[in-house]
Amino acid sequence: MEFLLLVAGVALLLEARRSSRSAGHQRASWTAALSTDPTPVAEVVGMAEAVRAELPDRSLFQRDVAVTGVAQLDDGAKLTRTPVSDEPCIWFSFLRQLRSVNSDGDETLTEKQSYHSGGGFRLVDPAEPSGASVVVQMTGAQVQDVPTRRTSAVSELNMLAGLIGRDDEEIITEQFIQPGQPLTVAGRAKISGSRVVLVPAGAGVPFLVTGGTRGTAVRTAQRQQSVLAQRSLLTALAGIGLLVAGVIAIIV
């Protein structure tokens, strides 16, 4: 028993150390990605065109940027609609969760379904909507401060659940981007075929699509990293507690 306490304590301390390093790395990545002035769409496209003209290897053009513009439908794409609120948009995400509260007041939130519309959209200069554009490929993007609709409904099983002391509620959250939505996108610009696309830069590096200001995005990221840091601290304290308990058990 004493040995198990020691092993569990060491495992928790190692997990706390890993989580703390991960939180620090992500915080630095967010800050670096959003601390510089946004690059205009036309400038990003111009840099890519210069590389295309001078170098045969297009993969040499990869630049981490924060680009500000407005969202527009991609060439040949059509408007879609959010599944529940029926809002017209060029991209949406859908999340269905089940909120359960038992007779003791303990609450759990369980993800039941999540998906997003496929493809991406163009980001253009609002002053020249028919001019240069970059394509935002939304896979892996973290979306913030865009129109959101939340609906909730009591589960069909709620009457039965009430008999056993549970209260279940289904929560549906839809985020969506509409044509003309002002956005800031922080990611990696690269050449794909004849176009410039924005994609994730890599593991641990943010790919952010936000309808808010850079300052709002940075504050949101800082709050998220603060939560991670607090969890790491609690994990470390639990590990220390188990180690102390194991040592005391051995001595006694």
Q: What is the pLDDT of residue 197?
A: 93
**Which comes out higher in pLDDT, residue 31 or 141?**
141
Amino acid identity, position 106: D
**Which comes out higher in pLDDT, residue 54 or 83?**
83
Q: Where are the domains of the chain?
A: 2-251
CA atoms of 130 and 69, how far apart (whole Å): 12
Among the ranges given (16-20, 98-102, 163-167, 207-211), the one the predictor scored with the smallest mean pLDDT? 163-167
Nearest to 181 by CA among 77, 76, 68: 68
The pLDDT confidence band at residue 31, using thresholds 50, 70 and 90, is low
The pLDDT confidence band at residue 146, using thresholds 50, 70 and 90, is very high
Query: Which stretches does DSSP call E strand in 73-106?
Result: 80-81, 88-89, 91-102
**Residue-wise pLDDT tens digits, 105-129:** 778 888 999 999 988 899 998 877 6
Asked whether the beta carbons of 123 and 67 are under 8 A apart, the reply is: yes
Instruction: State the Cα angle at 149 between 148 and 150, rounded to 5°.
Output: 120
> What's the chain's average pLDDT?
78
> Which tokens go with 95?
């999340």
Which of 19-33, 130-144, 225-239 ranks highest by mean pLDDT?
130-144
- For every residue of 116-179, DSSP letters joined together read E-SSEEEEEETTEEEEEEEEEE-TT-EEESS-EEEEEEE-TTHHHHHHTTEEEEEEEEEEEE-T
pLDDT reading at 164 higher than 50: no
Query: Can you give the pTM of this predicted structure?
Result: 0.70
CA atoms of 190 and 65, how far apart (whole Å): 10
Beta partners for residue 88, in sequence order: 81
> Which tokens go with 234?
């609690």
